[in-house]
């Protein structure tokens, strides 16, 4: 399967993993994925459904940004589609939660014991 050079025009599952990692936009979107999943307590703690919602949120955010650039450049802009996408993004983000969640980290004694560094 070949890597895509750009973000797809329509959402598709696993679209982020299909992007060419050498491109700046891919690196930025993967950083956003990491930031969003870290805010939710870490990707490893998220359910499949939560990770799926994160991908959809990132795609919608990217799509909204591209529409805003086109508006700024005087190109065609569909305010109805933009509003619908913005409302969808808001719903997804509300479902995921807008507050940061702490990652589970062991206390120092447990960490050292696991590494064999204490008695």
Q: Is the pLDDT of residue 37 over 70?
A: yes
Give the domain ranges of the chain.
16-115
pLDDT (0 to 100) of residue 2? 46
Q: What is the pLDDT of residue 18?
A: 67
Secondary-structure percent of the chain, ordered helix, strand, coil, rounded to 5: 60, 0, 35
Q: Residue 29: its pLDDT value, please? A: 87
- Burial of 47-86, coded b for 16+ CB within 10 Å and e otherwise, reads eeebeebbbbbbbbbbbbeebeeeeeeeeeeeeeebeebe
More confident residue, 30 or 103: 30
Q: Is the pLDDT of residue 5 over 50?
A: yes
Q: Give 48-79 pLDDT, tens digit per residue.
A: 999 999 999 999 999 999 999 999 999 999 99
> Using 50, 70 and 90 to split pLDDT, how confident is the model at 1?
very low
């Amino acid at each position: 399967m070949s890597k895509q050079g750009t973000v797809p025009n329509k959402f598709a599952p696993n679209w982020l993993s299909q992007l060419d990692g050498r491109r700046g936009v891919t690196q930025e979107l993967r950083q956003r994925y990491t930031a969003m999943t870290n805010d939710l307590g870490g990707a490893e703690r998220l359910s499949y459904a939560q990770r799926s919602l994160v991908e959809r949120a990132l795609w919608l955010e990217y799509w909204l940004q591209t529409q805003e650039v086109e508006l700024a450049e005087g190109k065609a802009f569909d305010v109805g589609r933009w509003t619908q996408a913005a409302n969808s993004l808001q719903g997804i983000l509300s479902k995921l939660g807008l507050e940061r969640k702490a990652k589970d980290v062991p206390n120092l004694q447990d960490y050292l014991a696991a590494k064999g560094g204490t008695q």
